Structure 1
């Protein structure tokens, strides 16, 4: 999946973003899945990064970003 990974602040602080959710869904179905998204190297980037890792999603193409693009 290529796209954004963000933290949803509306209800709960939870990782989200449509491509992020699709990647998690595919991984949950046992599909080999990777995420291509810039993830901040601060708290709001570490949360989705940890979730992706826990789901077994390949994040080798999700670099840590020290500043916005």
Structure 2
């Protein structure tokens, strides 16, 4: 069985102020984001993922998932 994995990341993204203004009706040329991810092994073949992304001035986005590893290799 694997180990608990926790990661944190921040990023600054830049983009065209004019294009952003056309889409969102406000001027902005960059945005800060922060992300946290946790991968929790439950058994040898099963794990869970939880992720949250925070973007400057926006509501957080949450993602959850399940990893399932086949008990044997899949045929070609």
TM-score over 0.5 for the pair: no
Relative contact order (C-alpha < 8 Å, sep 6+): which is higher?
Answer: 1
Larger of the two Rg values belongs to structure: 2
Q: Which has the higher helix share?
A: 1
* TM-score, scaled relative to structure 1: 0.22
